[in-house]
């Protein structure tokens, strides 16, 4: 990659004025750190922004939003840079990089935490677990809590404490016109509704406040690995168990290829493998009995389930999900997994294009399903399973075909549910995909909210809710 060309979209003098107005660095093509600064987690998105503003605080965010708007440039907002669809970068536009804004402050007495918009789950868990507190966080700790929370957020505490956005109690948001507002049940409650599931459509969350829950610091969790040949038995028995699992237990089936890791025998490396990932957050004394059936779904190859610090559980999968590969995720909410769906899952998995490609079946329900649909903008809450189909490769040249495998697999499996998607697991932009993520009443409300808060669609690099056009607004 060469970085010698100066951008043509913004003049020197204008960049100089911007740099004088913000405290964080303004990074441009040709700067030593440009390539490092423009890289995002998903190597499928190799974009060349005109400017990257590494914001030092809310004032820089305000300046950055105003700058992009006044220059008519595309604006990408970046928290943890884990967007599968590549929304946190762009060609020839402005990236508002929040990665230097990651402070987390905890009030243990009130059980509240406030995180800056660029914090990751590793940052958040570190601070909150000092007091034995947590909210539902990501399965991989390098993920940013900004994009994650605004899209919903599923993790090991999902069934006990709901989606991450269900624990959000307020946010400071820089709007498209540069104003900073607070959103909560009491203030700008319409915006607060939209922030809980509507993604980054309404502004930049510079601070997010969460209600915390007592968790750990030791939980019972980990992974149990079974041979690929046992996939059908594992899926069917797990499906039966999910009908009576307590909320304290959240689990997922992972259809994968055995990685070359020391805890798996060399003889299975590179062969199909089924893993159960699970975490029980209730009393440890009762946990052994609760998780035991998961450990005996078939003859295990390796059983790594046991008492573990919550923070370690949150980082358990990090080594397997490092940046640098090409990734495409797609999802479906699933109501039932009858035997023919099990067969279809296994057939699709067997046809995976690369060893790194996987299918995950998450057990949802519990607290997530008990929040009334209309309370937040999150789409489909009641399906008991969430399917995540992941095409992953280190070979960019053939990646288009790999992604097609994931899309086709989704098309054949979505009929076992309401054909709904989860915005955070959607690997590309597309109106059809956004519409498939929300019930029609929720979508209509999101459009009205977008029209109110961002009528010219400044925040459009996301699973975009387009505002209604001026003409259609005049007609209303």
Ligand X SMILES: Cc1cc2nc3c(=O)[nH]c(=O)nc-3n(C[C@H](O)[C@H](O)[C@H](O)COP(=O)(O)OP(=O)(O)OC[C@H]3O[C@@H](n4cnc5c(N)ncnc54)[C@H](O)[C@@H]3O)c2cc1C
Site residues (CB under 6 A) for ligand X? Answer: 41, 76-84, 87-88, 98, 117, 138-140, 143-144, 146-148, 150-151, 153-155, 199-200, 204-205, 321, 424, 461-462
- C-alpha span between 63 and 53 (Å, rounded): 10
What SS3 class is residue 70? Answer: helix
Structural contact between residues 449 and 194, judged by C-beta atoms closer than 8 angstroms: yes
- C-alpha span between 446 and 301 (Å, rounded): 47
- C-alpha span between 403 and 400 (Å, rounded): 5
Rounded to a whole number of angstroms, the minimum distance from the CB of residue 42 to ligand X is: 7
Rounded to a whole number of angstroms, the minimum distance from the CB of residue 198 to ligand X is: 10
Q: 40 vs 301, which CB is nearer to ligand X?
A: 40
Q: 230 vs 256, which CB is nearer to ligand X?
A: 256
Rounded to a whole number of angstroms, the minimum distance from the CB of residue 134 to ligand X is: 14
Instruction: Give the helix/strand (H/E) hosting 365.
Output: none
Rounded to a whole number of angstroms, the minimum distance from the CB of residue 437 to ligand X is: 13
DSSP class of residue 352 equals -
E strands, 247-298, are: 249-257, 272-280
Buried b (16+ CB within 10 A) or exposed e, 86-96: bbbbbeebbbb
Within 10 angstroms of residue 316's Cβ, the number of other Cβ atoms is: 20
Rounded to a whole number of angstroms, the minimum distance from the CB of residue 382 to ligand X is: 17
Q: 171 vs 342, which CB is nearer to ligand X?
A: 171
Q: What is the dihedral of CA 353, 426, 82, 459, to 10 degrees?
A: 150
Q: 268 vs 316, which CB is nearer to ligand X?
A: 316
Rounded to a whole number of angstroms, the minimum distance from the CB of residue 4 to ligand X is: 27
What SS3 class is residue 387? Answer: strand
Q: 212 vs 390, which CB is nearer to ligand X?
A: 390
Q: 67 vs 268, which CB is nearer to ligand X?
A: 67
**Angle separating helix axes 339-350 and 231-242, nearest 10 degrees:** 140
Structural contact between residues 185 and 137, judged by C-beta atoms closer than 8 angstroms: no
Within 10 angstroms of residue 430's Cβ, the number of other Cβ atoms is: 14
Q: 41 vs 301, which CB is nearer to ligand X?
A: 41
Structural contact between residues 278 and 160, judged by C-beta atoms closer than 8 angstroms: no
DSSP class of residue 164 equals G
Rounded to a whole number of angstroms, the minimum distance from the CB of residue 149 to ligand X is: 8
Rounded to a whole number of angstroms, the minimum distance from the CB of residue 471 to ligand X is: 27
Q: 156 vs 342, which CB is nearer to ligand X?
A: 156
């Amino acid at each position: 990659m060469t970085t010698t060309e100066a951008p043509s979209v913004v003049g020197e003098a204008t960049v100089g004025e911007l740099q004088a107005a913000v405290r964080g660095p303004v990074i441009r093509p040709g700067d030593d750190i440009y390539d490092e600064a423009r890289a995002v987690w998903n190597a499928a998105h190799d974009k060349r922004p005109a400017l990257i503003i590494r914001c030092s605080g809310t004032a820089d965010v305000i300046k950055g939003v105003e700058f992009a708007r006044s220059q008519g440039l595309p604006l990408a907002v970046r928290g943890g840079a884990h967007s599968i669809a590549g929304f946190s970068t762009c060609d020839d536009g402005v990236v508002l990089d929040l990665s230097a804004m990651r402070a987390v402050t905890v009030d243990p007495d009130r059980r509240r935490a406030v995180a800056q918009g660029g914090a990751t789950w590793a940052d958040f868990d570190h601070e909150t677990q000092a007091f034995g507190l947590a909210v539902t966080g990501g399965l991989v700790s390098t993920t940013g809590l900004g994009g994650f929370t605004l899209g919903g957020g599923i993790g090991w505490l999902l069934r006990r404490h709901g989606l991450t956005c269900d624990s959000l109690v307020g946010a400071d948001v820089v709007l498209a016109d540069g104003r900073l507002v607070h959103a909560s049940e009491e203030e700008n409650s319409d915006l607060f509704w939209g922030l809980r599931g509507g993604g980054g459509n309404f502004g930049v969350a510079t601070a997010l406040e969460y209600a915390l829950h007592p968790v750990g610091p030791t939980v019972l969790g980990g992974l149990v690995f079974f041979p690929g040949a046992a996939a059908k038995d594992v899926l069917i028995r797990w499906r039966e168990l999910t009908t009576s699992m307590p909320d304290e237990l959240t689990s997922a089936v992972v259809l994968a290829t055995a990685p070359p890791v020391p805890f798996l025998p060399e003889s299975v490396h590179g062969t199909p493998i089924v893993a159960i990932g699970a975490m029980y957050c209730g009393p440890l004394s009762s946990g052994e009995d609760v998780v035991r059936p998961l450990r005996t779904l078939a003859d295990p190859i390796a059983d790594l389930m046991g008492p573990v610090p919550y923070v370690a559980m949150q980082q358990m999968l990090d080594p397997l999900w490092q940046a640098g590969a090409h990734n495409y995720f797609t999802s479906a909410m699933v109501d039932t997994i009858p035997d023919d769906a099990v067969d279809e899952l296994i057939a699709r998995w067997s046809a995976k294009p690369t060893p790194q490609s996987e299918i995950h079946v998450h057990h949802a329900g519990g607290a997530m399903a008990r929040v009334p649909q209309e309370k937040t903008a999150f789409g489909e809450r009641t399906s008991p399973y969430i399917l995540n189909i992941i095409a992953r490769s280190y070979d960019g040249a053939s990646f288009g075909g790999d992604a097609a495998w994931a899309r086709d697999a989704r098309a054949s499996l979505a009929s076992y549910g309401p054909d709904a998607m989860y915005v955070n697991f959607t690997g590309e932009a597309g109106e059809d995909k956004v519409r498939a993520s929300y019930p029609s009443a929720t979508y209509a409300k999101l459009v009205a909210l977008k029209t109110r808060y961002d009528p010219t669609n400044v925040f459009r690099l996301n699973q975009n809710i387009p505002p209604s056009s001026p003409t259609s607004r005049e007609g209303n």
